[in-house]
Amino acid sequence: MADLLDRLRGPELVAQFQKLCGLSLLSEEKSARQHFAKAVRRAEPDCTARFHAAAWTGHHVNAANNGTVPGTPVPQKKYKIENYFLYYLFLFAATLGQEVFYITFLPFCFWNIDPCVARRVINIWAYPFELGLLLALAICTLVSLSRIYTGMHTVLDVLCGIAITAVLVAFSYPFWDALENFQMRNSFAPILALSLSFLVSIYYPELDHWSTARGDTTNIVSAGGGAALATWINHQWSLLPEPSSAPPYDIPALSAPLICRMSARFAIGIVIVFIARHLIKSVALTLVCRLAGVSPLDREARKLLRVEVPYKYITYSCLGVVGLAVCPAVHRYLAL
């Protein structure tokens, strides 16, 4: 069993999967020759294979552990791409697990499909069972494989993540309606959601090197806490109409006026969200860095626990409120 876990945890399976998908690691000598040849033919069309640079997963926060000097560039590996279909497929799939997806797809569901469905999407996933299951499996598979393809996670990481998610969904499914009712009606729901999301971010498992995983986790759980607060605000102040029946809902026929309204809601909402993100992030970063006694311009200082978690938590919990409460209020004011 220990040997199996070591194999799943090791880099060999990741390398085998990358090779199977047409991604091969170049040796240092070959990479240098290719770089030199490309420089010589700079004015000529480049008909050779392109190269994809993937950063080492270990970073240079703790120089004693990895032998790098703080402030120096992180060494990169050079890869040869032989299958561009899979390259762009996994490149797209990787974005499904990043901020750009959360900040566009989830608000689009909330503004243009249905707030009730969007709330359940944010909590877990909800559609008609067959469609939701197929969509969830497709997205889960693509995102999981993309993490192995890009070398960000091992096979064991992905398998453990899928197993934990499956267990959580199985045990929480009977309580989804009760959870949604609690989010909307209980006075302590916003406090509980915000405090739990903050504690999850603060007590993220420590690593011997800095990783984006803690920041990404903070982004997701804090946005969920902000969404829970927005849900409570919308219900308490009757800002959004509640559905008269349970899902699935009838999908209206697409028409030119409907498409125009959806496009307008999305365009206006995204502009508000991106402006709010820039402003809130700047203010939060400046405030947290000042309290921590570091400079906001110091990128290494941003990786400190006392800086990274608070400023990301403030930023994305506020964005959850902006996206799910402020934007719908603006849409309603503009009769969209």
DSSP notation for 215-282:
HHHHHHHHHHHHHHHHHHHHHHTT-SPPPSSPSS-PPPPP-HHHHHHHHHHHHHHHHHHHHHHHHHHH
> What is the chain's mean pLDDT, rounded?
78
96 and 165 both lie in a single domain: yes
CB-CB neighbours of 18 under 10 Å: 21
What is d(CA 175, CA 158) in angstroms, rounded to the nearest whole number? 26
The SS3 call for residue 80 is: strand
Rounded mean pLDDT, 305-320: 93
In the structure, what pLDDT confidence band is assigned to residue 277 with cuts at 50, 70 and 90?
Answer: very high
pLDDT at 134: 79
Highest mean pLDDT among 46-55, 79-88, 169-178, 306-315: 306-315
Whether residue 124 lies inside any domain: the answer is yes
Q: Categorize the per-residue pLDDT at 43 as very low, low, confident or very high, splitting at 50, 70 and 90.
A: very low
Residue-range definition of the domain harbouring residue 74: 23-82
pLDDT digit string, tens, across residues 184-215 = 889 899 999 999 989 988 888 877 777 777 88
Assigned domain for 226 exists = yes
pTM value is: 0.66
Q: How many domains does the chain have?
A: 2
145 falls within a domain: yes
Shared-domain flag, residues 167 and 300: yes
Q: 110 and 155: one domain?
A: yes
Q: Does a structural domain hold residue 268?
A: yes
Q: Are residues 198 and 54 in the same domain?
A: no
Residues 78 and 102 in one domain: no
Whether residue 56 is found in the same domain as residue 187: no
Q: Are residues 55 and 113 in the same domain?
A: no
pLDDT greater than 90 at residue 313 = yes
Residue 5 lies in a domain: no
How much is the pLDDT for 112? 73
Please tell me whether residues 116 and 193 are part of one structural domain: yes
Please give the pLDDT value at position 130: 67
Does residue 269 sit within a domain? yes
pLDDT at 70 over 60: no
177 pLDDT band, cuts 50/70/90, is confident
Are both 139 and 187 inside the same structural domain? yes
- State yes or no: pLDDT of 62 exceeds 80: no
Confidence at 45, pLDDT banded by 50, 70, 90: very low
Within this chain, do residues 59 and 147 fall inside the same structural domain, yes or no?
Answer: no
